[in-house]
Structure 1
């Protein structure tokens, strides 16, 4: 039996701002970014071997993704430190936070939070009032950044409460509000 990923939901609210560390800048996709995106995602997400053709077919030509929705943080040399993508889903007012990755050597600087903020701003400009994401239980730093951005767990399978309790023990959160699968307020999880 395949274990479902954790799902999280952000419903329209104020978007937190974070200060970019000195020497870095935020920008969107430019021609020639495929290799840097592949390196960032391979190093940061353990996604396996991607080729440039995969990037073009699965990202640039994917439904709901446009160049302006693929964000990068680059260092002073122009090297891609991290990336995140905002995808417009076919359901009304629904966005998806996709492929958030910061390379290991750039972690701990808050770049993931800045990328999350950029994607949320982009998606809300397109009229999205709800944004979802999927992640894995072991991605604790990423989960902490999603929680700080206002995402909350979606209890979409019977084992979610126990899995989230386990995650919470590693995040320092003692209490988390949740959502049900139909976007209603779910129970508060405490540890």
Structure 2
């Protein structure tokens, strides 16, 4: 990623003070949570496209499969027909600041099922899975315009990482748009 592209990439971290309190996974009636099963790929690609992540296919998925922690690819599915409607991956990030870091990745949902807490459920499941298997450094990346996703992350307890001075203005805009308090003095400037 170039320096100019990097400015739009926000980072968030799970506070180490919350490692003893993983988020609860709550699903509405009619849905359940499960992990990946062989054969999920075609519907996963559809959900990714519906969420604005076009171009997913076997070739694009393959490198991510090696990074997903065991039992770390979560799907919210309909109880009636096991249709995947939201997804998130718990991926090992050996390239980030710490060699043993977990990244919440590729959060996506079918817009036909939005507003039901399914994105929150899969992100909570990923976060809880990382904590369960011993990760103490958990982070995610997103863009400033993905307000629904940012609202999920903030509501669950993720903190903005103010890793560059220009992040202050972006986060202030996000907080105004989401009607959330802008509290940069409480946010980290470097990973724990």
Q: Same fold (TM over 0.5)?
A: yes
| Deviations, residues 134-156 of structure 1 (Å, cap 9, x unaligned) | 00101111101101111111112
Gap runs ≥5 in structure 2:
none
Could you say which residue in structure 2 is the equivalent of 1:87? 91
Could you say which residue in structure 1 is the equivalent of 2:5? 2
Tell me the secondary structure at the aligned position of residue 127 of structure 1: coil
Residues 41, 67 of structure 1: CA spacing in aligned structure 2 closer, same or farther, 3 A cutoff? farther
Deviation, 1:105, is: 0.8
Deviation, 1:92, is: 5.0
- 1:29–1:67 CA contact under 8 A, matched in 2: no
Hey, what's the Cα distance between the residues in 2 that align with 1:50 and 1:182? 30
**Displaced runs of 4+ in structure 1, greater than 6 A?**
none
Hey, what's the Cα distance between the residues in 2 that align with 1:128 and 1:67? 13
- 2:23–2:128 CA contact under 8 A, matched in 1: no
Could you say which residue in structure 2 is the equivalent of 1:98? 105
Could you say which residue in structure 2 is the equivalent of 1:159? 166
Deviation, 1:72, is: 0.2
Q: More deviation in 46-55 or 70-79?
A: 46-55
Hey, what's the Cα distance between the residues in 2 that align with 1:182 and 1:79? 37
- 1:28–1:68 CA contact under 8 A, matched in 2: yes
Hey, what's the Cα distance between the residues in 1 that align with 2:145 and 2:180? 15
- 2:13–2:191 CA contact under 8 A, matched in 1: no
Tell me the secondary structure at the aligned position of residue 47 of structure 1: coil
Hey, what's the Cα distance between the residues in 2 that align with 1:148 and 1:93? 25
Q: What TM-score comes out, normalization by structure 1 length?
A: 0.87
Count of matched residue positions in the alignment of Structure 1 and Structure 2 = 179
Tell me the secondary structure at the aligned position of residue 42 of structure 2: helix
Hey, what's the Cα distance between the residues in 1 that align with 2:5 and 2:37? 36
- 2:22–2:131 CA contact under 8 A, matched in 1: no
- 1:140–1:167 CA contact under 8 A, matched in 2: yes
Residue 179 (1) aligns with residue 188 (2): yes
From 132, 144, 149, the equivalent of 1:137 is 144
Residues 66, 127 of structure 1: CA spacing in aligned structure 2 closer, same or farther, 3 A cutoff? closer
Q: What TM-score comes out, normalization by structure 2 length?
A: 0.86
Residue 50 (1) aligns with residue 56 (2): yes
Deviation, 1:87, is: 1.1
